[in-house]
Amino acid sequence: EVQLLESGGGLVQPGGSLRLSCAASGFTFSTFVMSWVRQAPGKGLEWVSGIRHSGDATYYADSVKGRFTISRDNSRNTLDLQMNSLRAEDTAVYYCAKHNGYDGLDYWGQGTLVTVSS
Amino acid sequence: DVQMTQSPSSLSASVGDRVTIACRASQTISNYLNWYQQKPGKAPKLLIYAASNLQSGVPSRFSGSGSGTDFTLTISNLQPEDFATYYCQQSYSSPDTFGQGTKLEI
């Protein structure tokens, strides 16, 4: 059974940093593209960042480029999102998601809430 | 960036109805279009990938069509569990962008 379990969310002050992690199991992690998607309270979905299966290419939404860094450790089956210079508008539930080979996101974690507030 | 526009933003329907949700891309995206269903407090669920392919385990009353810039999600014979918010997403070019969502209400 595929499982994605996010951790690391919490309350952080504007300008602060936070590192999210996603522990993957139930599939061959090293062969799939992975992404982070977020959802601000009461709002729609926003794709944040993606990383190729080997980690050799990364992609970012314009809203987080230069502040967030996605990475993966295929030996530990983990996906991370380092978030720096956080802003109030980064407040959201952050989901880690697995791509299905056709770039649909076929498995999602339960999400972790990040709140940026003083 | 490719902009995705869904219509309508909200939709009222009844059990047994057939409904269609439209999604338009700001530029051609071939068939790199996915559809998701999201219920309150839950993670999204993939329904359709590559415009018209039904994800495993999804009921056949869900179908998708389109290519280029215009796409549709059709739900036939609406069931009570189908009342949710639906999102389209393009995966043709990074950043992968979502539509604003369509809330399907009873």
Over the stretch A70-111, which tens digit does the pLDDT of each residue have?
999 999 999 999 999 999 999 999 999 999 987 899 999 999
Residue B80 per-residue DSSP state: G
Chain A residues whose CB is inside 8 A of the B31 CB are none
Contact A114, A83 (CB under 8 A): yes
Cα dihedral sign, A53-A58-A63-A65: positive
pLDDT grade, residue B106 (50/70/90)? confident
Residue A63 per-residue DSSP state: T
Contact A94, A81 (CB under 8 A): yes
- What is the structure's pLDDT at A25? 97
Instruction: For chain A, give the percent of residues with pLDDT over 70.
Output: 100
Chain A residues whose CB is inside 8 A of the B43 CB are 95, 108-111
Please state the rounded mean pLDDT for residues B48-65.
97
Q: What are residue A104's DSSP bridge partners?
A: none
Total length of chain A: 118
Residue A55 tokens, joined: 């980690």
From B44, B50, B95, residue closest to A59, measured CB to CB: B95
- What is the structure's pLDDT at B24? 98
Inter-chain residue contact A61 with B36, CB threshold 8 Å: no
pLDDT grade, residue B87 (50/70/90)? very high
- What is the structure's pLDDT at B32? 96
Using CA coordinates, name the residue in chain A closest to B44. A108
| Residue A62: pLDDT over 90 | yes
